Amino acid sequence: MPRTKAAKSDRSEATPEAGWRAVRWEDLEGWAGKKAVERGKTYQEEGRVENLAVTKDGDLLATVSGTDDYSTHVWLEGKGDRRRPESMCTCPVGYACKHAVATVVEYLKAIAAKREVPQADEDDPRWYDLDEPADEGYEDEPRPKRSRLATKEWDGRIRAHLQAMPQGELVETIWAIAKAAPEVYEGLRERVALQDLDPAGLVAEARREIKAATSVDPWRSHWDGEGELPDYRPAERVLRRLLEIGRADDVVALGRDLIKKGFRQVERSDDEGETVARLRRALAVVFEAVLKSSLPGPDRLMFTIDACLDEPLDVVDDAADAIFDAASPTDWAAAADVLSARLKALPAPGRDDYEARDRREVLADWFAEALEKAGREGELPALFESEARATGEREPLIAYLIDEGRLDDAEREAREALADKVGVEPGTASRLAKTLADLAARRRRWDVVAAHAAREFFNGPTVETFKALLKAAKKAGVEPAARAGALHFLRTGHMPYEWVESKSRPKPKAGKKPEAKPAEPSHLKVDPAWPLPVPDEVVALLRYAAGYAAFRPHVGVLIDIALDEGAIEQALDYYDALKIDAGMKPPIFHEDADRYADRLAEAATAAHPDRALKIYKAQLDRSLPIADPSAYERSARLLARMRPIHEALGRPAEWADLVASAREKYRNRPRFLEQLDRTLGRAAGKGGARTS
């Protein structure tokens, strides 16, 4: 959070850039989490970070557009190599959010591009926005002094006034404020409790704070940021105080209650993950206490494993790592015995009881890890085999067999498991097919590897799956024929093989003998020109997928492949076919052609400038009539892309006429005209359209 000048005194004297250059992606993920980092990177790429500025101390200030425009402040905390980002934002999350990540990424890219970032003004109104308390935000650091001169003057006046008051009058004033403002009262109450209560009183206070925090039903509106979130900070501070005075066992006991009630709260929460983040910070104190408690090693370990088993989401995170790292093989052995007994006591789950199966699988995973850490790896095969019988889940057993080099056994188990899962659990069946393909690769059976790659391609045609098929087919020595079959599929929608169902013969008429020839059984019909085998596991998957097959060309993928291979003319021909196909369908299908327009026009600019202009013009004609800011931006961007092509062809006046015509036709759209001015310049197209 923002800091006072005093809080900034421990900063390094190095240049602001040096500190930020040392920030790694791992640092950002450790601070904000992978999800926020990914969203932040996307926000930066979309150009949502505006008016970035940097203070003399290296603090970053920016406006980031999301549901609203948010003021965001990010700085580095700590010294040397241990510096980490901290932030404050006016968004509902308020801390370590995607807007803060986007700000950091924008600054790092500015540094890399040697782009100058302006210095933040002390009177920037965004400091004032950030100084307003967030509805439910956490403010774990001192707030900064208000930056405006008038505010600083009032700070001094109020402080001097309080210092001049007689003690009795000052007490009455503070008491009146506390009675009128619940948050002030609670702050004073907590302050007194932490300073004056004995251990028993602190335990009672902690219970009260845990109950208060966990009784909230958390929610947050995605649209307006309104909602109610639990505040775990008071409970966290009391637990920390108990730990400081050597009452680790009390913290552990309170932690059991916090885990039970907190996990229930997470299950009923309806927010953006804020409840999990807040509970996680409080639990960090509990796990720190577990490590310092009088619990025996095995009990410490089981306390932590039980928390991991019970968590509804990733709440425990890395807070328990220190306990796992400190556990000895003896501790893990004791935990393995406890987990083994629990596993044996569980009834075998029903085939469709996925919740019970998931619980059992997680328990079995912990049992397996405990056996490994205890040095009892010899018991793993029996565990995996018994779980395969109890739940039908053979993947752990297969992975173990592969690790042990028992490839024949692994292949047998994978084939049997795939036969069980096809049509029941398609995702599991696909993973098992991938395992069989990997086993074939280990044995250098490239035709089988290519057969699996072909199934992946036909199941999901993309440039990537096409390349994977050709790579495998090349190793099998059949690349040309495989390529021909793949392209035929993309052009027609027909695979080189199809599942043919058995047709029952009609009943013979009365008085006639039935034909001796039996009905032809269901089978896979393979095109003789197809060069690859069709293993049994692929046949099983194809039979299941036959009912979902859609025989249609994949012209978009053909365009992608042609562009990837630099065949621009071929891509343009495919694009023309795609436009014809879209023209015979409802308008929604036009998006298929529109998706490729910009890429094709850009690729065709050098060798086929007139074709590029034709594509851009068609897109412009579709975009101009739409009265929407995003359409205005797209129209202006299309005109900007057309400009250098017209100039290269010696036809700049043609482009000017195009802009002038758009200005004239849509002169009643001021926001559109403003967008043209911003993108093209105010003078562009204002000379009037030429008349012939």
Helix (H, G, I), strand (E, B) or coil at 472: helix
Q: Total structural domains in the chain?
A: 3
In a domain, 273, yes or no: yes
User: What is the rounded CA–CA span in Å between residue 261 and residue 646?
Assistant: 68
Same domain as 202, residue 143: no
Q: Which pLDDT belongs to residue 128? A: 76
Last residue of a domain, one of 364, 381, 398: 381
Q: Which pLDDT belongs to residue 42? A: 86
User: What is the rounded CA–CA span in Å between residue 311 and residue 259?
Assistant: 8
Q: Which pLDDT belongs to residue 4? A: 30
Q: What is the mean pLDDT of the chain?
A: 84
Q: HSE on the CB side for 692, CA within 13 Å?
A: 2
Closest CA to 215 of 227, 202, 205, 229: 229
Same domain as 359, residue 249: yes
Q: Which pLDDT belongs to residue 107? A: 93
27 Cβ contact list (under 8 Å, min separation 6)? 84, 85
In a domain, 433, yes or no: no
In a domain, 284, yes or no: yes
Same domain as 191, residue 276: yes
Same domain as 222, residue 109: no
469 to each of 454, 563, 585, how far by Cα in Å?
6, 18, 32
Last residue of a domain, one of 349, 381, 413: 381
Residue with tokens 């100039």: 647
Q: Which pLDDT belongs to residue 15? A: 65
pLDDT at 26 exceeding the cut of 90: no
In a domain, 485, yes or no: no
Answer with the residue of higher pLDDT: 506 or 496: 496
In a domain, 557, yes or no: no
pLDDT at 292 exceeding the cut of 80: yes
pLDDT at 545 exceeding the cut of 70: no
In a domain, 580, yes or no: no
pLDDT at 291 exceeding the cut of 90: yes
| C-alpha dihedral, 508 to 510 to 511 to 513, nearest 10° | 10
Same domain as 203, residue 73: no
- The stretch 57-74 carries a mean pLDDT of 88
User: What is the rounded CA–CA span in Å between residue 570 and residue 562?
Assistant: 6
Q: What percent of the chain has pLDDT over 70?
A: 85
Same domain as 357, residue 208: yes
Q: Which pLDDT belongs to residue 7? A: 36
Q: HSE on the CB side for 207, CA within 13 Å?
A: 7
pLDDT at 46 exceeding the cut of 70: yes
Q: Which pLDDT belongs to residue 185? A: 79
Last residue of a domain, one of 155, 188, 212: 155
Same domain as 210, residue 104: no
Q: How many CB atoms lie within 10 A of CB 411?
A: 20
180-211, pLDDT tens digit by residue?
877 777 777 767 776 767 888 889 989 999 99
226-282, pLDDT tens digit by residue?
889 999 999 998 899 899 888 999 999 999 999 999 999 999 999 888 999 999 999
Q: Which pLDDT belongs to residue 150? A: 45
Q: Which pLDDT belongs to residue 514? A: 59
pLDDT at 585 exceeding the cut of 80: no
pLDDT at 586 exceeding the cut of 50: no
463-493, pLDDT tens digit by residue?
999 999 999 999 999 999 999 999 999 998 8
pLDDT at 589 exceeding the cut of 60: no
Confidence category of residue 506, pLDDT binned at 50, 70, 90: low
Contacts 24+ apart (CB under 8 A), 238-244: 238/190, 238/193, 238/194, 238/202, 238/205, 238/206, 238/209, 239/206, 239/282, 239/285, 239/286, 239/289, 240/285, 241/194, 241/202, 242/199, 242/202, 242/203, 242/206, 242/289, 243/285, 243/288, 243/289, 243/292
119-158, pLDDT tens digit by residue?
988 878 888 778 654 443 454 444 443 444 445 567 777 8
Same domain as 139, residue 216: no
Range of the domain at 657: 605-692
Q: Which pLDDT belongs to residue 617? A: 93
Same domain as 236, residue 145: no
pLDDT at 52 exceeding the cut of 90: yes
In a domain, 582, yes or no: no
Amino acid at 541: L
Task: Write out the two tokens for 17.
Answer: 């850039």
Same domain as 36, residue 113: yes
* DSSP summary character for residue 613: H
Q: Which pLDDT belongs to residue 408? A: 94
- The stretch 213-217 carries a mean pLDDT of 95
Answer with the residue of higher pLDDT: 9 or 627: 627
Q: Which pLDDT belongs to residue 67? A: 72
- DSSP strand pairing (69-77 vs 60-65): antiparallel
Same domain as 102, residue 18: yes
pLDDT at 304 exceeding the cut of 90: yes
In a domain, 233, yes or no: yes
Q: What percent of the chain has pLDDT over 90?
A: 46
Same domain as 192, residue 146: no
